[in-house]
Structure 1
Amino acid sequence: MLPLHSRHLRGDVAAVSALPQVPGLPRDADGPVFGAPWQAQAFAMAVALHAKGLFTWPEWAEALANTIRTAPAAPDEDAGAAYYRQWLETLERMVARTGASSEGELRRYRDAWDHAADRTPHGQPITLAPEDFDR
């Protein structure tokens, strides 16, 4: 697991104090931990959008708890991977619900990302290019 200690939240006191409200957050003694870089990025996006006032931590915790209930881990799914899948699903719903983006736009970027990942050699950074959106 990749640790992200509370000091990495760049002084976001509200985010650090709200972490105990977030259900099921994989953590160690120093704070959240991640099994893959995308998990840390999804976490950081939620923290940044909270800091911008898109949602409160209690709203986030309630929405995440609902996603966990309605989209539980599959029997063969790693618990940490399932949690951050649920985290990302919640993030997408919150962004769409608040009007910061539409479900269609999120789907367009998700599809473009999948295309970019398919054309990227293993171990290389994935970058989006205009042709990734032309599918």
Structure 2
Amino acid sequence: MPDLGYGPLRRRDDEPIFAEPWHAQAMAIADLLIGSGTISQSKWTETLCEEVRLASLAGSADDTGRYYTAVLSALERILNAGGNVSCSELACRRDEWRRAYLHTPHGQPVELDCGRFTKASD
């Protein structure tokens, strides 16, 4: 298949290449939110483009990492603006996952157990 300008997001066998499982999960969440009508396609496109532009202005490398970080930022911005999830809720959940990850033995699945880890346990 010829390179159609996808840059690091080139397609092989008509399927996107995801470097990490969370890349596919983030795109699936965006697709679900658009498909359910929670967010509009135009709002998604506008917000994602702005996040990619901001990452570019900040000097981030033009790679899949930057793109999917922009995807996450766009999802967070849209959900916060729509009142679905606040920035403080996102930060709290991110911190809970970080603590759970740090306290999970190597090779074991990371599970979020709300209330198990407190800020004092870091």
Q: Which TM-score applies when normalising by structure 2?
A: 0.78
2:60 pairs with 69, 74, 78, which one?
A: 74
Does 2:25 align with 1:41?
A: yes
- For residues 127 and 98 of structure 1, do their structure 2 counterparts lie closer, same or farther at Cα, with a shift above 3 Å needed? same
Superposition RMSD in Å: 2.3
Query: How much has 1:132 moved relative to structure 2?
Result: 5.4
Tell which has more relative contact order, 1 or 2 (C-alpha 8 A, sep 6+).
Answer: 1
Flag the structure with larger Rg. 2
Give unpaired runs (5+ residues) of structure 2. Answer: 1-5
Q: Which TM-score applies when normalising by structure 1?
A: 0.71
Residues 24, 83 of structure 1: 8 Å contact kept: no
- For residues 25 and 133 of structure 1, do their structure 2 counterparts lie closer, same or farther at Cα, with a shift above 3 Å needed? farther
Q: How many residues align?
A: 111
The correspondence of residues 1-135 of structure 1 with structure 2, limited to 5 A, is 26-29=9-12, 30-72=14-56, 74-75=60-61, 79-131=63-115, 134-135=118-119
Q: Which amino acid aligns with 1:51?
A: G
- Flag as ranges the 4+ runs of structure 1 deviating above 4 A: none
